[in-house]
Amino acid sequence: MSSMEQLQEQLGYHFRDPQLLRQALTHRSAGGQHNERLEFLGDAALNFVAAAQLFSRFPKVSEGDLSRMRARLVREETLAEIAGQIDLADVLILGPGEQRSGGARRHSIRADALEAVLGAAFLDGGFAAAEGIVSRLLESLMTEHLGGEELRDPKTRLQEYLQGRGRALPIYELVEEKGQAHERRFVTRCVVSGAEETQAEDNSRRKAEQQAAALMLAQLQGDAQGAAGHG
């Protein structure tokens, strides 16, 4: 069985037009017809199907928590993990430069390709095709724990933690930008009065701030537990 056939087995859907699937797996670095427009379509289908299924499965969950649950399901890290489970990297079509730099391992490329596959399935077999794939891939992730506290992003949790103790809100500062234009890295710091600042680095400023906030929250909670232990 070829890698393309194996992928379709994993998806639970077989394309009537194999060229659509091929396009969905083609990164723009490879030239020709690539997957960016299909990714746009697949992203919309993914968000809708995930929202509809969460709405149906969790009738008592609030709108805010449903939004956080959906965000957890459709975020880049989750999609890249799913792409890894179905061996999507084995069939990605990349340009020589991306191949040499290990592009198949990049979360963004894997996640984008998975969304493009959903878009291609929508064109190939209609909404039911895209819905079937999403249901199959996300089934194991749609559990009660998705509504838990961990879904609140670190910046929100840090803000709530400080507000609950009457403390000043955190300040986020960009420390440094580095790297080439297509591979920018951002170093940010999180500053809270009365605490040691934390720093983090990532390929987006938002993610770096989230990580710095998570470090700060862990630091503050650790200090509080230490104080309680000595009390």
Q: Which amino acid is at 213?
A: A
Pairwise CA distance, residues 144 & 146, whole Å = 5
As to burial, measured by CB atoms within 10 angstroms (0-12 exposed, 13-18 middle, 19+ buried), residue 8 is buried
Catalytic choice (115, 124, 131, 209):
115
Angle in degrees, CA 11, 17, 22, rounded to 5: 70
Angle in degrees, CA 31, 34, 40, rounded to 5: 145
Active site residue 115: yes
95 φ, ψ to 5°? -70, 165
Beta strand 185-191 with 171-178: parallel, antiparallel or unpaired? antiparallel
Which residues have a catalytic role annotated?
Answer: 43, 115
